[in-house]
Amino acid sequence: MGTLKTRFFFIFLIWTFFGFSQEKEVLWNSKKRLSWKDFKAAPPKNARAAATTASGITYEFSSTHKGAEVLVEYEISTFFYPYKSWYQPNLANDIILSHEQLHFDISELFARKMRKEMSRTKFTENVKSEVRGIYRRILKELKDFQNMYDDDTNFSRNTENQLLWNKRIAEALQRQEQY
């Protein structure tokens, strides 16, 4: 049995080293702005877009019972995934980079929305499905919002709208700073 545990541990270490060595995700930080150096993936052949930002929200939680009350501790994070994000250097410019940054910022805005909702929810015995339901709904809203953003800015080609969105999201993040 000890040999099996040792083999499993060794396989896990190899898998962790080789499987995740490239996946150094970047945690959202208001003081860190993306640069083109952060985009590590190669653009797909025949890509028509100038760039793609892979970002997302993750969560962890634990719950305890205090009498009839369910107490939930949680952590909600926003990440940028460099090895899933790419750009075409011949098309890259500052407006496109600000567009891609805003995709990341919008993910953080929805992470804050989830934190706010989690802080206001009275959870029941079904806490696992309740948290999962909140997460799924937030992800759907995030996806719809990201699509609306791309449509309204024409993927950054509408510079005037891009600048309006930059301001709009910065103000929304500031309003939700406590989350």
Residues with Cβ within 8 Å of residue 87, at least 6 apart in sequence: 36, 39, 43, 50, 51, 52, 96, 100
Neighbours of 167 (CB within 10 A): 10
CA-based nearest residue to 99, from 159, 144, 43, 45: 159
**Separation between Cα atoms, residue 91 and residue 27, nearest integer Å:** 26
Candidates 156, 158, 169; CA nearest to 51 is 156
What's the confidence (pLDDT) of residue 23? 61
CA–CA dist 77, 52 (Å, integer)? 20
Judge whether 105 and 92 are in contact, CB under 8 Å.
Answer: no
pLDDT at residue 10 tops 60: no
> What is residue 63's predicted lDDT score, i.e. its pLDDT?
96
pLDDT at 1 over 60: no
| CA–CA separation, 174 and 139 (whole Å) | 21
For the segment 158-171, what is each residue's pLDDT rounded down to a tens digit?
999 999 999 999 99
- Read off the pLDDT of residues 100-158 as tens digits, 9 standing for 90 and up: 999 999 999 999 999 999 999 999 999 999 999 999 999 999 999 999 999 999 999 99
- pLDDT at position 101 is 98
pLDDT for 14: 38
Domain residue spans in the chain? 20-175
Q: What is the pLDDT of residue 68?
A: 85
Q: What is the pTM of this model?
A: 0.86
**Does the pLDDT at position 15 exceed 90?**
no
Average pLDDT, the chain: 90
pLDDT at residue 21 tops 90: no
Measuring CA to CA, which residue among 80, 107, 76 is closest to residue 26? 80
Q: How far apart are CA 128 and CA 140, in angstroms?
A: 18
Separation of alpha carbons 35 and 37, rounded Å? 5
pLDDT cut 90: percent of the chain above it? 84
